[in-house]
Amino acid sequence: MKRLSIILLACAAVLPVGGTANAAAYPVKNAKLTANPLYDTGTLPTVDCAEPPVRRGDRKLARAYLDSVIGCLESAWQWHLDKASLPYSKIKVRHLAKIPKNYCGFDIPKDDSQAQYCPKTRTLVFQIGKNWLDDPTDLWLFDTAAAMYAMHVQKLTGIYDAYLAAPHRSAAEQNEQERRQSLQAECLGGAFVKSAWPMTDRTDKDWTYFLSLVQGDGPHDKRTIGSTASLKKWISRGFATGDPASCNTWTAPSSAVA
């Protein structure tokens, strides 16, 4: 089974000694999260992203496919951020047969296929295993690249650092903040897909099928990434508008990021 594109990040903040068991606090008050200039940049530019060929079980072609999509992401986001006078720098991409256990200080899961963004080095690492190669012709790889690149956008615009610095009084509150960050990246990924839509030889059925693959209801995923319903909602929201403003998870009620 394919797993959600954004894997849990190790949060730098630690629960304070004597922290309470209060429910997650709302609202978030940091303006870098709630009123970031990214939300005022308008819709992403229309882009033409040609999809290179991929074949079942062919890791080399899948890597080339992801590299091509990343190139398209770079062009779109650079233009978009430059136009808004926001910071921009290129992302680094690596492909590894196996991501090291403690890569970038994270607790790397044992998933067959996964992707990790390291904010320290601004590097995106892909580990393409059998489950992503079982049927690589769907939109999973495309959206995975888009959502993971969105974490780079969060880093560039100060959202990621503000998220790490956000105070929390309980594990529940920390988990909710993690869901807000992750769901926002998924929404921004959906916004990019919209900017590239319609794509050659793709129909709305391809998008609907991709959404059917999205799952987040595992006990670990639901706690830190979000439920299947929340994931589909935010991805669909980004795809519907193509506008980062629709991806402001930080002002959404707690029920919307459950």
Q: Is the pLDDT of residue 176 over 80?
A: yes
Say what the pLDDT of residue 131 is. Answer: 94
Q: Give tens-digit pLDDT for 123-159.
A: 999 999 999 999 999 999 999 999 999 999 999 999 9
* Structural domain contains residue 8: no
Q: Cis before residue 27, ω within 30 degrees of 0?
A: yes
In a domain, 9, yes or no: no
At 93 the pLDDT is 98
Confidence of residue 23 (pLDDT cuts 50, 70, 90): very low
The answer to whether residues 19 and 169 touch, using CB atoms and an 8 Å cutoff, is yes
Taken in order 191, 193, 197, 203, the sign of the CA dihedral is negative
Domain limits at 166?
A: 31-257
The reply to whether 208 falls in a domain is yes
Residue 18 placed within a domain: no
Residue 27: pLDDT band (50, 70, 90) is confident
pLDDT band at 216 (very low <50, low <70, confident <90, very high): confident
Q: What is the structure's pLDDT at 13? A: 35
> Which distant-in-sequence residues (6+ apart) come within 8 Å of 6 by Cβ?
115, 147, 148, 151, 182, 185, 186, 225
Domain count across the chain? 1
pLDDT, tens only, 74-112: 999 999 999 999 999 999 999 999 999 999 999 999 999
Is the pLDDT at 1 greater than 70? The verdict is no
pLDDT at residue 185, rounded to an integer: 98
Inside any domain, residue 144 = yes
